[in-house]
Amino acid sequence: MTVVQPERVVRTTCPYCGVGCQMNLHIKDDLIYRVEAPFDSAPNYGNLCVKGRFGLDFTTHPRRLKQPLIRDGEGFREASWEEALTLVSKKLSQIVRDYGGDSLATYACAKATNEDNYIFQKWVRAVMKTNNVDHCARLCHAGSVTGLQLAIGSSAMSNSIAEMEHLDTFIVTGSNTTETHPVISLFLKRAVRQNGAKLIVIDPRQIELTDFATLWLRQKPGTDVAVFQAMAHVIVTEKLYDETYIGTQTEGFEDYIESLEPCTPEWAEAISGVPAEDIRQAARLYAEANQAAIYWGMGISQSTHGTDNALSLANLAMMTGNLGKAGAGLNPLRGQNNVQGCSDSGGLPNVYTAYQAVNNPAIQAKFEQAWHTNLSPDPGLTVTEMVDGALTGRIKAMIVMGENPMMSEPNLAHAQHAIEALDFMVCIDIFMNETSEYADVILPSASFAEKAGTFTNSDRRIQRIRPALPPVGESRPDWEIVCELARRMEAILGVPESAGFDYADAEAIWEEMRAVTPDFYGITYERLEREGGVHWPCPSLDHPGTPYLFEEGVPRGRGKFWPLEYGTNSELTNEEYPFHLTTGRVLFHWHGGTMTRRSKLDEAFPEPILEMHPDDAHALQLVSGDWVEVESRRGQVTCRVMVTGRSPQGTVFLPFHFVEAAANLLTLNKIDPRAKIPDFKMAAVKLRKAETPQRDGHDIPLEERGAIKEPTRYVH
């Protein structure tokens, strides 16, 4: 007789973008059958996008990894946890002994919890003695992080989501917000419709927010700095700057304004195509507002000049005094659900938790005392440097927790060669993906719905996730897997005193984490249960949290103005490769598609589509639905065309979610020299009409459409 379980409702945090929407999962018979958003809970107040509402069925997809897999010839065989953990711990320990810990490359995970990532970086640093830990933040907002750190000493979003609907004036640039952060876009649109806010959109594509904009500056791709510098020129020449703020809170202004002398709006018009008068009007709107905020996405940061882009925005905010008050600040919108938290938890090569520098002797001593071990003061490699290091032999092994570099790295042929050169690779994930196809061992982890912990959203709000479903098969939470490997490696390597990898639960990990992190100290699980979420910094138990930053000044003491010169190291178009390719997201999918393409969302958007301008399509005799070959100097993909004026003439747009037309086969692995972020937004391509494939996306059965290079070598 079948026993029907009663319905349960579990409050948790959405596992998709960085908004951090609160949701109620309705559970029956160990399935999520309905998702609702509580109307009384920040930050979303009853709103959910299509991914949060309908995209959680990946959790019970039949292709979830259920037990460890070990490579067996060209395929994989199932293994016990004991066999898999023994193999991984012995192999990694041997590599550490033979080549040192710096021969290992490790990827933390922007989809995993703060607790998972804290334990991961602790394992890497305390046991393997290397700071070679990084994650996908390097590939999305490293330009923002580096620029903001240089200018003000903090890279976090400075304002809260709750402030958005009360905005006075705001700029959105490099962000298709309605598709990448749909709930945030609702509040931004509400600010315009109900509050009369002035919106300035600065973007080459005709995104939905242009319908709500007072001004839309449609710059040529890659000319952002020229536009922002010209706005600054107007503010200076018309004396619209905030003399009090500049005099008391900043430094370097005189040198900066001297550097602006040639950056007239007419100069910027010649470079960017934006009319000079529109630049003047945008500068006046922004500078004359009582409070003005800037929001941006990867269109600003994913560039060889991503750091300069962020610096130019910081210059605008500082010269107008738009920092340190509600509704005024600098706000990079984070893409993954816990990319902010992974960075906060020490998932970066140069910092411990909350950006405490590894090369600061006092900070190093604090963590050595807490972890009972010696630690390296040398910053580690970034993900782009790790890939290059595998090709040169510097990196011997790679540990990838929940990331997919074979979809996220630029110039995927280059990344594939690097991964194939490794001696050993371990993947910890919920699905087989393009990267784990090359692994030696795959360890099955629990999804967000099967474990406890915390996520930190884009505006630094720490919130709970709670178990709603039983683990799939023999899968385990990431932190449990990592703790077991750490204990085994300590024993093999003969570590004299354990760094401490015995925890009763996720809360015990958080307690250790907040003890070594002053900015988190006032946040406890008990408080999160009571309040729902708390913004860090929160240094004491009676501290209210910090919805907006810099009320008492910026962390570096005085904000620094940075003189900039317009220029580009990006790949430019020419006669052979006449089209400029840019990449990004669509509403129904998320990053490499590992989750959304194994959900019902794949039925709504089942295949990659290349956007192109009607004039370009006419010249190539293409109409919507035709097939086209897109080729760069690095690779080629084939997909359908959608003819639309959203992309400007000469520019084509390809989403990066689809392995069957992987955008990063085309992109270039040239990087910003300071941020080490690749140039995903500028690649030169050529197009030609293609024959219709024998089997296109609409002919593939639904159950196969999410088969992202499933384990073709799997041995049952």
Which residue would you say has higher pLDDT here, 527 or 405? 527
State the Cα–Cα distance between residues 608 and 78, nearest whole angstrom: 33
Q: What is the pLDDT of residue 694?
A: 54
Q: Is the CB of residue 590 less than 8 Å from the CB of residue 111?
A: no
State the Cα–Cα distance between residues 222 and 272, nearest whole angstrom: 8
Structure confidence by residue, pLDDT tens digits, 387-425: 999 999 999 999 999 999 898 888 888 899 999 999 999
Q: Which of 58-72, 293-307, 342-356, 691-705 has the lowest mean pLDDT?
A: 691-705
Q: Can the peptide bond before residue 43 be classed as cis, meaning omega within 30 degrees of 0?
A: yes
Beta bridge partners of 348: 351
Q: Is the CB of residue 320 less than 8 Å from the CB of residue 235?
A: yes
Using the predicted structure, report yes or no on whether residue 688 has a pLDDT greater than 70.
yes
Domain boundaries defined on the chain: 69-139+337-361+381-504, 142-333+556-560, 579-705
Tell me the three-class secondary structure of 208-256, residue by residue.
Answer: HHHHHCCEEECCCCCCHHHHHHHHHHHHHHCCCCCHHHHHHHEECHHHH
Q: 69-139+337-361+381-504 adopts what CATH topology?
A: Rossmann fold (3.40.50)
Structure confidence by residue, pLDDT tens digits, 360-390: 999 999 999 999 999 999 999 999 899 999 9
Query: How would CATH label the architecture of 579-705?
Result: Beta Barrel (2.40)
As a CATH number, domain 142-333+556-560 is 3.40.228.10
Which residue would you say has higher pLDDT here, 713 or 129? 129
Q: What is the DSSP string of 48-107?
A: --HHHHH--GGGG-TTS--S-EEEETTEEEE--HHHHHHHHHHHHHHHHHHH-GGGEEEE
Q: What is the pLDDT of residue 707?
A: 34
Confidence bin at 116 (pLDDT 50/70/90): very high
State the Cα–Cα distance between residues 318 and 642, nearest whole angstrom: 41
Tell me the three-class secondary structure of 468-498, residue by residue.
Answer: CCCCCCCCECHHHHHHHHHHHHHHHHCCCCC
Work out the burial of residue 147: count CB atoms within 10 Å of its CB; fewer than 13 is exposed, 13-18 middle, 19 or more buried: buried
Sort residue 433 into left (φ over 0), alpha (ψ -120 to 50) or beta.
beta
Q: How many residues does the chain have?
A: 716
Q: What is the pLDDT of residue 335?
A: 80
Q: Which residues contact 107 (CB under 8 A, 6 or more apart)?
A: 133, 134, 135, 136, 383, 398, 399, 400, 401, 402, 403, 405
State the Cα–Cα distance between residues 255 and 276, nearest whole angstrom: 24
Look up tokens 């995927």; give the residue: 412
Q: What is the pLDDT of residue 701?
A: 44
Look up tokens 């840019």; give the residue: 582
Q: Which residues contact 285 (CB under 8 A, 6 or more apart)?
A: 169, 198, 200, 214, 215
Confidence bin at 302 (pLDDT 50/70/90): confident
Structure confidence by residue, pLDDT tens digits, 618-657: 999 999 999 999 999 999 999 999 999 999 999 999 998 8
Q: Is the CB of residue 185 less than 8 Å from the CB of residue 48?
A: no
Q: Which of 329-333, 337-341, 406-410, 553-557 has the lowest mean pLDDT?
A: 406-410
Question: What is the model's pTM?
Answer: 0.94
Beta bridge partners of 424: 397
CA angle 297, 301, 305 (to 5 degrees): 150
Confidence bin at 671 (pLDDT 50/70/90): confident
